[in-house]
Amino acid sequence: QHLDAFKALCAKSIGKARPQQAPPPALKGAGTNVAPAAKLAVSGTLKTDEMPLARITDGEADTADNRGRWLSGGKLPHWVEFAWDAPQTLALARIVSGYVSDGQPGDPIGDFVLQMHDGTEWKDIPGTTVKGNAKVDWHVAFPPVTARRVRLLITATKGNCSRLWEVELYAPAKK
C-alpha cells in the first residue's frame, strides 16, 4: 500500500528538482540586474501573505511553482514601480510571467509597456510596448535610458490578474 502512495507522489514530481527558467541568450554579456536594488510599489496585491511583492525581484524564475509568483490585485491597468535613490541606466529587460497548469507554464501578461518617469510624467521606453504577448519568458534590449523611477504598466492579461515570477532590469553591457 505504501508503494502505491509513493508512486502517486512521484507522478506529481515530488522529490524532483524544480527547473528554473533558463535565462535567454540575449542576457549573456548584459550589465548588472538593478531591479533587486529598487524599492517596489504596486497598484495592488492579491494574497499578500502567500505571494509577497518581494517575489518580483528575488532572482527566482521557477516556472514550475505557482507559489513563487506575485499576483496583482484590483482592476486593470496593473503596475509595478521600481525606484532607486540614484538614477539608473537601463538597456535590457526580462519579464517572466504567467502560471503553471498541468506542468506547463502559460498565460503570460498580454499587453504591457515599460515606462520611465522624467521627473514630471511617465513616458514609454522605446521598443518596450507589447500587444498580445504569448511568451512566458519575454525580454528586449532597447536604447539606454536613465531614470530614478521605472514602471511596468500592464493593460491586458488573462483573467485580469497579472502573475509575475520575475522582472529583471539590466544596465548596459560593460565594455
Report how far residue 102's alpha carbon sits from residue 11's, in angstroms, rounded to the nearest whole number.
12
pLDDT of residue 129: 98
**How much is the mean pLDDT over the chain?**
86
* Number of separate helices (H) and strands (E) present in the chain: 1, 10
**Banded model confidence at residue 21, pLDDT cuts 50, 70, 90:** low
One-character DSSP codes across 89-155: EEEEEEEEE-EEETTEEE----EEEEEEE-SSSEEEPTT--BSS---SEEEEEEEEEEEEEEEEEEE
Determine what percent of the chain is predicted with pLDDT higher than 70: 84
My answer on whether omega of the bond before 126 falls inside 30° of 0, hence cis, is no
**What is the reported pLDDT for 68?**
83
Residue 4, pLDDT > 70, answer: no
**Cβ pair 22, 49 in contact under 8 A:** no
One-letter amino acid for residue 95 of the chain: I
